[in-house]
A and B are shown apart, each in its own frame.
Chain A
Amino acid sequence: MNKTLIIIKREYLTRVRKRSFIVLTLLIPFLFIGLAALTGLIAVGGSTGDKKIAVLDNSGGVFEKNLKASKHVHYVFMHGTLDSLKHNLDKKKYDALLYIPGIDKDLNFQLLYNEQIGITTEARITDDLNDIVRNERMKAAGISSEQLKVIEAESISLKVTNIQDGKESSNATAMIIGYACGFLLYMFMLFYGMSVMRSVMEEKTNRIAEIIVSSVRPFQLMLGKIIGVALVGLTQVLIWIVLFGLFAAIGIPMMTGGMAMQVDPASMNEAASQATDSAKMMQILHALQGTNWWLIAICFLFYFLGGYFLYAALFAAVGSLVNEDPQESGQYTLPITIPIILGFVMMSSAIGNPNSGIAIFGSIFPLTSPIVMMARLPFGVAADHPEQLIASMLCLVGGFFATTWMAGKIYRTGILMYGKKISLKEAGKWLMRK
């Protein structure tokens, strides 16, 4: 059997057999879902209970007639003077006191609270009041309530279509896919790159490196390690795809079924807003179907492997430079992590403007191209500028060969150097040796 294969096999098996691999692979999707749910929860965290607002209406009953309870906010109308209510308001029953001075001239509404009611509730109350004031003004201007309904019902939907192939697209969808792909690649490159580095450091400090390289070329050892870890990454992705497939096949129908029953046609307003929401959802779903998944999948695989190989070689070289002191590694990894982080920053910019100069540069420059190009792809780069995609791929392959060649030179010397701290300048000199 080929020696590199033996090394790949060992690197792969020792990692996959570890308990931590199995646990992490199964846990990470749940962690992500949990994280998403948590952020969702925190975002709507303000409305953890319904607010009850006492209202003192001095407008002559206009608000009392029109101000209806909406989501999470209930209004209870009171009578008396502002001062007496201020003092006698039941703190346990009401969260705040809303004072309405009138509807014609004086529009200095006041909200007096015992405890902060939060920005969401505040915005909702302002909206409710504004609606009523506007309606009253329209009535005063002579617009009937039927006309009003017609005005309000009008809501547009913007369909975005590619001129050339007539395919529908959605920037929102592209953004989601772009972010997801870019972020995944960023994670993979950092995580597995570091894994390669740690493993090289371990072999060096364990001193087994010298024994192995008396049987195989250092380059074979490095390559075997990099490929072995890549296979571990692919295995992980495969497991996630299978998990996601199972979830899609079993989980989603259950959830959407549940949602359909929950739809509550209570208030017209909400139903209307839901209608536009679902129209938007339909548009996104439509665009998802319109997205060229094959292209994205193939490119993802290409950039995943290309980007990983490029960085893993660099990480391996860094690992070979580190001595016993693991703290040293930080100093050497910085020049490698900076371009990865830079790629991440460029990705955010590229998603905002997929054809800007910086996006084009970032998606061709091999150190950032995996992340940035993956983020641009859903915006149709492949169809609009195929030459950029080809240039990016060629540069990545070239970059991969260049870094692997460099890393091989540094690695084979570094892995046998002990004691002395190696400066990057010195490591640079090793590149020139035969």
Chain B
Amino acid sequence: MLLSVKNLKKYYATQKAVDDISFDIAQGSIFGLLGPNGAGKSTLLRMVTGIFYPDSGQVLFNGEAFDMLKHVGEMGYMPEERGLYKKMKIGEQALYLAQLRGLSRAEAEKRSKDWFARLDMNSWWDKKVEDLSKGMSQKLQFVTTVIHNPKLLILDEPFSGLDPVNANVLKDEIFRLAKEGTTVIFSTHRMEQVEEICDHIILVNQGKKILDGTVKQVRQDFKENVFSITLERAPTALPEGIEVMKQQDNTLVFHLKEGESANGVLQYFIGQGYMVGAFSEILPSLNDIFIRLVQGTAAARAFQEV
């Protein structure tokens, strides 16, 4: 495991921001940290990056206790609220942040030039950040986050504010880095991106972990026996044990009751002489799961006594 988080806790005066969360992240995986606004994601990430001290619990990096100063070169962190020095020249800014991450000046310069070339940013070097559009500064922010080749890359809402083209550029870079062995923690509340990008997810709500698993596994776990069947013509009669949720011409979406098997349904239609064009199980999307789990809990966290 590249990163192990064990029983992490952080209580603020009015709420339990992170309340006993544990998880493990394997080397080279893309890990999704999900949760509604105010769930405690940012606080959790700030503890993982060493910005905050946890009240209790442990963060292990490569098996040893995480120490920000020692592991500074192996971690890259892009917080949700982007920040750059507005009046500083872009090239100098990249060099400065890279040096703070432990690169020598010469190495920082070489890598900045490489990254700038790869992302078509060469002409920016002597410009100031205040001259950049939001999307452009986002790209710059990403470059400054990955410039030192971190082993663990933490991205908090990396695509917010990016147009689809630039979002894709960034996504490709993230995939490329993951393929080269970088482990990525990806924090978001945009589920469609998670399904597309992440291998493993945890869902956090009200400071607690409420879900942990691979994307595939989680969807399996939350399946509700919903199937879709396409027949050559709309059926006139239906078998026992199914509950049609939606019918569109000759395609049925139905819920299979407890104790019934999909084979039974198929056999029924085949026995009736229908040609079966398609049959598949519909797994819930992460979005549905997310809503199902989070709904009903107070949208904005109520202040509680600790």
Residues of A that sit less than 8 Å from B by CB: 1, 3, 6-7, 10, 14, 203, 206-217, 416, 418, 434
The verdict on A206 contacting B86 (CB below 8 Å), with A211-B77, A214-B77, A217-B69 known, is yes
Give the docked Cα–Cα distance between A206 and B82 (Å). 8
Indicate if B282 sits at the interface (CB-CB under 8 A): no
The answer on a CB contact under 8 Å between B100 and A3 is yes
In the complex formed, the residue of B with least CB distance to A209 is B83
Which of B81, B87, B100 has a CB less than 8 Å from the CB of A212?
A: B100
In the complex formed, the residue of B with least CB distance to A433 is B53
| Chain A residue contacts of B188, Cβ below 8 A | none
Shortest distance between the CB of B44 and any CB in chain A (Å): 14
Q: Give the most central of A6, A211, A215: most B CB within 10 Å.
A: A215
| Chain A residue contacts of B52, Cβ below 8 A | 416
Given contacts A203-B83, A214-B51, A214-B79, 4 further A-B contacts (CB under 8 A): A14-B88, A206-B86, A214-B77, A434-B53
Main secondary structure, interface of B, reads: loop
**Cβ-closest 5 pairs across A and B:** A207-B83, A208-B83, A215-B100, A207-B81, A214-B77
The answer on a CB contact under 8 Å between B51 and A206 is no
Give the docked Cα–Cα distance between A228 and B51 (Å). 23
Residues of B that sit less than 8 Å from A by CB: 46, 49-53, 68-69, 72, 75, 77-79, 81-88, 96-97, 99-101, 104-105, 144
The answer on a CB contact under 8 Å between B84 and A208 is yes
The answer on a CB contact under 8 Å between A6 and B96 is yes
The answer on a CB contact under 8 Å between B85 and A206 is yes
The verdict on A6 contacting B81 (CB below 8 Å), with A214-B49, A215-B72 known, is no
Give the docked Cα–Cα distance between A209 and B84 (Å). 9
Shortest distance between the CB of B197 and any CB in chain A (Å): 22
| Chain B residue contacts of A1, Cβ below 8 A | 99, 104-105
In the complex formed, the residue of B with least CB distance to A211 is B83
| Chain B residue contacts of A14, Cβ below 8 A | 87-88
| Chain B residue contacts of A213, Cβ below 8 A | 51
Q: What are 18 A-to-B residue pairs whose CB atoms are below 8 Å?
A: A1-B99, A1-B105, A6-B96, A206-B83, A207-B82, A207-B83, A208-B83, A209-B83, A210-B51, A210-B79, A211-B79, A211-B83, A211-B97, A214-B75, A214-B79, A215-B72, A215-B97, A418-B81
The answer on a CB contact under 8 Å between B88 and A216 is no
In the complex formed, the residue of A with least CB distance to B84 is A208
Give the docked Cα–Cα distance between A99 and B96 (Å). 82
Shortest distance between the CB of A237 and any CB in chain B (Å): 25
Shortest distance between the CB of A427 and any CB in chain B (Å): 13
Shortest distance between the CB of B98 and any CB in chain A (Å): 10
Give the docked Cα–Cα distance between A241 and B195 (Å). 66
Give the docked Cα–Cα distance between A210 and B100 (Å). 13
In the complex formed, the residue of B with least CB distance to A416 is B51
Q: Give the most central of A14, A211, A434: most B CB within 10 Å.
A: A211
| Chain A residue contacts of B49, Cβ below 8 A | 214
Give the docked Cα–Cα distance between A211 and B104 (Å). 19
Give the docked Cα–Cα distance between A216 and B51 (Å). 9
| Chain A residue contacts of B104, Cβ below 8 A | 1
Give the docked Cα–Cα distance between A7 and B99 (Å). 10
Shortest distance between the CB of A321 and any CB in chain B (Å): 16
| Chain B residue contacts of A418, Cβ below 8 A | 81
In the complex formed, the residue of A with least CB distance to B141 is A211
| Chain B residue contacts of A207, Cβ below 8 A | 79, 81-83
| Chain B residue contacts of A434, Cβ below 8 A | 53
Shortest distance between the CB of B75 and any CB in chain A (Å): 8
The answer on a CB contact under 8 Å between A214 and B50 is yes
Give the docked Cα–Cα distance between A203 and B85 (Å). 7
Give the docked Cα–Cα distance between A216 and B73 (Å). 11
| Chain B residue contacts of A6, Cβ below 8 A | 96, 99-100
Shortest distance between the CB of A214 and any CB in chain B (Å): 4
| Chain B residue contacts of A214, Cβ below 8 A | 49-51, 68, 75, 77, 79
| Chain A residue contacts of B87, Cβ below 8 A | 14
Shortest distance between the CB of A294 and any CB in chain B (Å): 40
